[in-house]
Amino acid sequence: MDIVYHPGINGSDPWVDFYPYTPSATAGYTFVVLFGIATFIHIILTIPFRAAYFIPLIIGGICEAFGYYGRAWSHHSRTDIRPWALQEMLILCAPPLISATVYMVLGRMIRSLQAEHHSSIRTKRLTWVFVLNDVLCFCTQLGGAGVQVTGSQQVMDIGKKVVVGGLIFSLVVFALFIWIAVKFHQRLGREPTQLVLESPFLPWQRYMWVIYLVCALLMVRNLVRTIQFGASQDSVLNTGEAIIYVFDAAMIFLVFAALIVYHPGRLIKEVRHLAAATQVCGPLETENVPLHRYESLSA
């Protein structure tokens, strides 16, 4: 954590130096633009893919953009609490919103592949359990970041511990989620559903690997942030700004990019077309029909 509290000298007012360096305006504005573009693309993609479940990720992208605007703003004053509070709260609280979308994606993929019986938790419970845990992580980190804006050294220390607790809890939740995803992947691979058997071209495994990639990026980000908050003031994690951009900004942006290139809504849309085509042609006739034929039948 990079906050240094100064109690004042000879009766002067106390003040806080929020950064041990001068935040880069160039880096901040770069990620404002990157997250702005990525978020806009995701907004557009929600329409053809009917992906309203991506709304938390979109809100998270908006938080990231404004958070890095706060860092760029801090370039002009390391002791101004307003830009520091903006970036601290938004950058910390955006990832739980993004991970909530990932949890909902897996539930929708399981249902679309008609493979609920392969899930370790019922899909409705899967979504609610992990999203509620994510809400708890979100509230914990929001509260921990929020109390630090008081400027009191004691309260800042408490807020720091609360944020670390929220980050550790999110790592545990992610580990459990990945275990459930892997078990589902293995079971569906061993015992494919009728839909998967009749659709060998359906790239469902590719999207499972995208989920693993996204989870890995988020876990690395959370792990580094946890270590950073627990490290001493003079640690390399707290004395250099590059850590924030390499292990936080870049990691989260890669999550956005991966979900643009391999948007799960594309798979779910393909399955909807397949189901419609199967109703028209019957399972035997549709077994080896290319995807564009399904789309024309269901149009």
- Looking at residue 31, its pLDDT comes to 98
Question: How much is the average pLDDT of 263-278?
Answer: 86
pLDDT digits (tens, 9 = 90+) for 125-150: 887 888 887 778 777 766 766 666 55
Rounded CA gap, 68 and 213, in Å? Answer: 24
Radius of gyration of the chain from its Cα atoms, rounded to whole angstroms: 22
Tell me the pLDDT band of 79, cut-offs 50, 70 and 90: confident
Amino acid at 97: L
pLDDT digits (tens, 9 = 90+) for 173-205: 889 999 999 999 999 999 999 889 988 889 999
Q: Please state the φ and ψ torsions of residue 15, each to the nearest 5 degrees.
A: -150, 165
Rounded CA gap, 135 and 122, in Å? Answer: 20
pLDDT digits (tens, 9 = 90+) for 228-250: 877 777 778 778 899 999 999 99
Element (H, E) at 6: strand 4-6
How many other C-beta atoms lie within 10 A of the C-beta of residue 173? 20
- For domain 4-192+199-262, give the CATH number: 1.20.1070
Question: How much is the average pLDDT of 42-65?
Answer: 96
Give Cα 240 distance to the centre of its chain.
24
| Whether residue 299 has pLDDT greater than 60 | no
pTM (whole model) above 0.95: no
Tell me the pLDDT band of 155, cut-offs 50, 70 and 90: low
What six digits make up the tokens of 151? 């400027």
Question: How much is the average pLDDT of 93-121?
Answer: 92
Rounded CA gap, 281 and 286, in Å? Answer: 6
Average pLDDT, whole number, for the chain? 84
Per 3-state DSSP, the chain is made up of helix, strand and coil in percentages (nearest 5) of: 75, 0, 20
- Looking at residue 244, its pLDDT comes to 92
With 0-12 / 13-18 / 19 or more C-beta atoms within 10 angstroms meaning exposed / middle / buried, residue 297 is: middle
Picking from 40-49, 104-113, 286-295, which range would have the lowest pLDDT averaged per residue?
Answer: 286-295
- Looking at residue 65, its pLDDT comes to 98
Amino acid at 135: V
Question: How much is the average pLDDT of 251-279?
Answer: 90
**CB distance 42 to 54 below 8 Å:** yes
| Whether residue 86 has pLDDT greater than 80 | yes
Question: How much is the average pLDDT of 89-96?
Answer: 89
Query: What secondary structure letter does DSSP report for 191?
Result: S
The residue among 221, 139, 110 whose CA lies nearest residue 174 is 221
| Whether residue 286 has pLDDT greater than 60 | no
- Looking at residue 288, its pLDDT comes to 45
Amino acid at 232: S
- Looking at residue 93, its pLDDT comes to 85
Can you give the residue ranges of every domain in the chain?
Answer: 4-192+199-262, 263-299
- Looking at residue 134, its pLDDT comes to 75
Q: Which residues face 17 on adjacent strands?
A: 4
